[in-house]
């Protein structure tokens, strides 16, 4: 794979993904019992916004930097910015935390994270980042294979009943990626049906995603919804016009917490023609 997230760290897609990710982790923390998080495509964990890759694209300028400049935001957005700022000097934004680091910062002593990364250099950086954190296990392996191997999770002989799986692949071959995601979700739901599954997906032309949504709606889950942010009109197959999160088995009232954030992200990060979507694919009941 040639994909490197350093070129895109802190962009509009990261903002949406990480706001929802932190909301999911915070929902798990409402109960005292331990939970397990599996990050299937974890990356290196931290990215320098002044690095060569980030400067080449400047995508963070239209993402986290814009949001950080807003004086008042909904609570979920404020919570996200506090998590980002925790990795930076006071009053500066020089590093961006990836998904595994954001999750690890939110974990309690009894909770666990397994972070998978296939690219050797990225996996090594991830291992170094969490070398002294006993709550985090880094696996230099394919994330889909890890779903088969690590779910349902256990702590010794005890099965961990609650948790979250984040599936955030690079989508280098999109036509092949979506069937693989659906297959992995179906198998994992059979083994760990009570867990929440969150899938990030890119939007270039939304109509191309319709088969994915139909198959996601048919999964053996209690409920599922999608939350999307498109920062420009849906008319270019060559650009990342937006992104979305498919949430399977969402926590109670999560969609109500997300709802007030989406129009703010549209206003702050969007160009003319930007839009949002929050829609159930499969409703509980």
So which residues are the catalytic ones?
A: 168
Do 249 and 197 contact (CB within 8 A), yes or no? yes
Tokens 């019992």 found at: 33
What is the pairing mode between strands 224-230 and 242-248? antiparallel
Gap between the Cα atoms of 121 and 212, Å rounded: 31
Nearest to 245 by CA among 222, 219, 224: 224
Please tell me what DSSP assigns to residue 171.
-
- Write out the two tokens for 32: 């005292």
Say whether 4 sits in a helix, a strand or coil: coil
Gap between the Cα atoms of 186 and 216, Å rounded: 9
Gap between the Cα atoms of 54 and 225, Å rounded: 32
């Amino acid at each position: 794979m040639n994909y490197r997230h350093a070129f895109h760290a802190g962009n509009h897609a990261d903002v949406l993904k990480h706001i929802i990710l932190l909301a999911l982790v915070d929902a798990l923390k409402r109960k005292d019992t331990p939970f397990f998080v599996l990050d299937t495509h974890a990356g290196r964990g931290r990215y320098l916004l002044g690095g060569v890759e980030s400067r080449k694209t400047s995508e963070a300028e239209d993402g986290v930097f814009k949001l950080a400049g807003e004086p008042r935001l909904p609570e979920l957005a404020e919570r996200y910015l506090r998590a980002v700022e925790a990795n930076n000097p006071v009053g500066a934004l020089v590093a961006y935390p990836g998904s595994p680091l954001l999750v690890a910062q939110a974990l309690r002593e009894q909770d666990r994270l397994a972070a998978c990364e296939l690219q050797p250099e990225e996996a090594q950086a991830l291992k170094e980042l969490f070398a002294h954190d006993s709550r985090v296990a880094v696996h230099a392996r394919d994330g889909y294979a890890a779903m088969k191997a690590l779910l349902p999770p256990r702590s010794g002989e005890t099965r961990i009943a609650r948790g979250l799986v984040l599936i955030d692949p690079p989508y280098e071959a999109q036509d092949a990626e979506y069937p693989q995601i659906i297959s992995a979700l179906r198998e994992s739901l059979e083994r760990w049906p009570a867990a929440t599954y969150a899938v990030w997906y890119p939007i270039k032309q939304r109509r191309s995603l319709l088969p994915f949504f139909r198959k996601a709606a048919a999964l053996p889950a209690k409920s599922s919804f999608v939350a999307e942010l498109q920062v420009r009109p849906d008319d270019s197959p060559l650009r990342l016009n937006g992104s979305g999160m498919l949430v399977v088995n969402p926590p109670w009232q999560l969609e109500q917490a997300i709802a007030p954030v989406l129009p703010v992200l549209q206003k702050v990060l969007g160009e003319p023609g930007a839009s949002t979507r929050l829609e159930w694919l499969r409703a509980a009941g």
